[in-house]
Amino acid sequence: MGLEAVVNEIREKGRKEVEAVRAETRAEVEEILKDAQARAAEIKLSAEEEADRAATHITNQEVSAANLVVKRQVLNAQKTLLDQVYSASLAAVGDLPAEFHEKALTDLLKRAAKEIKKGVVHANERDIPVVEKILGATKSLSGYTVGDPVDIPGGIIVESDDGDLQLDYSYGTFLSEVWESALKDASDILFA
C-alpha cells in the first residue's frame, strides 16, 4: 500500500472520529440544553408560585387594612352620632314644660330627704325659684336651704350641712346611667 492510501485511510479514520465526536458532542449539548430548560422551567414555575403567594399575601394585608380603616371610620361616625343623640336628649329634657320640672324637682327633693335630713340644694339658674317654692311649701323639706346655682341641665345636687355627703340627682347623671345601661340597645336601634 502506498503512502497516499495510508494517508487517505488515516484521513478517513480521522473524519469518522471527528464525526463521531461531533455527534457525541451534539448529543451531550442537547442533553445539557434539555436539562437546563427543565431547570429553567422549574425555577420559573417556582418563581411564579412565590410571586402569586406574595401578591395574595400583600392583597390580603391591604384588604384587611382597608377594612380596618373603614370600620374605624364607621365607629367614629357612630360615636359622633351617639354623642349628638345624647346631647339632644339632654337638651330635650331641659326643654320640657315647667310643670314637668316642678314635679321632678319635688320628687327628687323628697327622695334626697330620705338620705340627707339637712343640707343645701343646688339647681340650675332656671330652677332656683321652683326649688325655693317647693322648699317653702313642703314641711318635710324644712331642713334644706337653697345654695348657689350650678351648671346642670336640670335636677338637683344636695349636699349635707357638714359637706360629707353629696347626692347628684341632676338630669345629666340620670341620663348617663340610663345611657350606659342602654347604650347597646340604642346602638342596635340606630345602626341595625
Place of cell 340620670: 174
Q: Which CATH number describes the domain made up of 96-191?
A: 3.30.2320.30
Q: What pLDDT does 160 receive?
A: 92
Q: What pLDDT does 180 receive?
A: 82
Q: What pLDDT does 105 receive?
A: 93
**Which residues, at least 6 apart from 93, have a Cβ–Cβ distance to it below 8 Å?**
153, 154, 171, 175
| pLDDT tens string 130-173 | 999 999 888 888 889 999 999 998 999 999 988 889 999 999 89
Tally of CA atoms within 13 A in the half-sphere of 38 that contains its CB: 6
Q: What is the 3-state secondary structure (H, E, C) of 107-166?
A: HHHHHHHCCCCCEEEECCHHHHHHHHHHHHHCHHHCCEEECCCCCCCCEEEEEECCCCCE
Residue 58 clears pLDDT 80, i.e. is over it: yes
Q: What pLDDT does 192 receive?
A: 67
Helices 3-94 & 171-191 angle (0-180, nearest 10):
140
Q: What pLDDT does 181 receive?
A: 80
- Whole-structure pTM value: 0.61
Q: What is the mean pLDDT of residues 101-115?
A: 92
